Chains A and B, each alone.
Chain A
């Protein structure tokens, strides 16, 4: 195994691990804010949870990007051909 493969594996792991931190914090804050809003106004729970779902999907995409980058590095690395 050459050094390029080693670097690819390490950077794939780092992409996922560090890429998960930001979205995790952001999702926590979003859910906390939505819970607070629902506790204050239970009658608008359906609107809030729908918006929350869409927002969570947006935030989650950041982590998914990192995952896709990691998979590209591991399985479709153009430098290792």
Chain B
């Protein structure tokens, strides 16, 4: 059985090895961008059916941001929505025969977690300036600074391991059951896998919001 920690190469272009996950990631990105461009081409005040669905999705993301971060969603909608959309589509891409979801590999999840880590710094500095952002490390008091610094690294790591472990274990279990029991038997497991995929996409987005909201200066003494 192939190791779930490695990804088999597909092409070799010069010194660069292209793995199947990179191809899957780029295909998913292209599909998402193309779908968004197509769907937002003819926006009207009275929405068509497609536009109504889109507005529902964007409205839900906005509402979640408002509920979780207690902030106006305008600045975070693009980042959070894209994270959720990409992870959701990537997790469910296991529905297509022959495709292993790119999130079942450590590298993709590491990139996503790194994005969240950088976004926390970016949004934190934007909201409170560098001093304001650094001051959030000293909450609730100065004794907590080392712990908060360590936490900002470990929570990124746990974000990566959580997504990787959940998606990869789903794919892995389906593979094992398929090799033991044969055709059609792992279908309930695949259904469970879809549920896990959706929940993990949701949780990844929620945790990104929580981390970003944690880097905001506390309300009341905004600079």
**Which residues of A does B touch, CB under 8 Å?**
46-47, 50, 53-54, 57, 60-61, 64-65, 67-68, 71-72, 75-76
**In the complex with contacts A71-B5, A75-B3, A54-B166 CB distance below 8 A:** no
**Contact status A50-B67, CB under 8 Å:** yes
A-B contact count (CB 8 A): 45
CA distance A65 to B166 in the complex (A): 10
Please give, as numbers and ranges, the residues of chain A lying within 8 Å of B162 by CB-CB distance: 57, 60-61, 64
CA distance A61 to B5 in the complex (A): 18
Please give, as numbers and ranges, the residues of chain B lying within 8 Å of A68 by CB-CB distance: 161, 164-165
Known: A53-B199, A57-B199. 17 other contacts (CB 8 A): A46-B67, A50-B67, A53-B203, A54-B206, A57-B162, A57-B203, A60-B166, A61-B158, A67-B165, A67-B169, A68-B161, A68-B165, A71-B5, A75-B5, A75-B6, A76-B3, A76-B5
User: B210: CB under 8 A from chain A?
Assistant: yes
Please give, as numbers and ranges, the residues of chain B lying within 8 Å of A75 by CB-CB distance: 3-6
**Contact status A53-B202, CB under 8 Å:** yes
CA distance A67 to B67 in the complex (A): 33
Can you name 18 A-B pairs with beta carbons within 8 Å? Answer: A47-B67, A50-B67, A53-B199, A53-B203, A54-B206, A54-B207, A54-B210, A57-B162, A57-B200, A57-B203, A60-B162, A60-B166, A64-B161, A64-B169, A65-B165, A67-B169, A68-B161, A68-B164
What's the least CB distance linking A17 to chain B, in Å?
15
Please give, as numbers and ranges, the residues of chain B lying within 8 Å of A65 by CB-CB distance: 161, 165
The main secondary structure of chain B at its interface with chain A is: helix
**Contact status A57-B207, CB under 8 Å:** yes
CA distance A60 to B169 in the complex (A): 13
The main secondary structure of chain A at its interface with chain B is: helix
What's the least CB distance linking A44 to chain B, in Å?
12
User: B152: CB under 8 A from chain A?
Assistant: no
**In the complex with contacts A67-B169, A71-B5, A50-B161 CB distance below 8 A:** no
Those 7 A-B pairs whose CB atoms lie nearest each other, nearest first? A64-B165, A75-B3, A57-B203, A61-B162, A76-B5, A61-B158, A75-B5
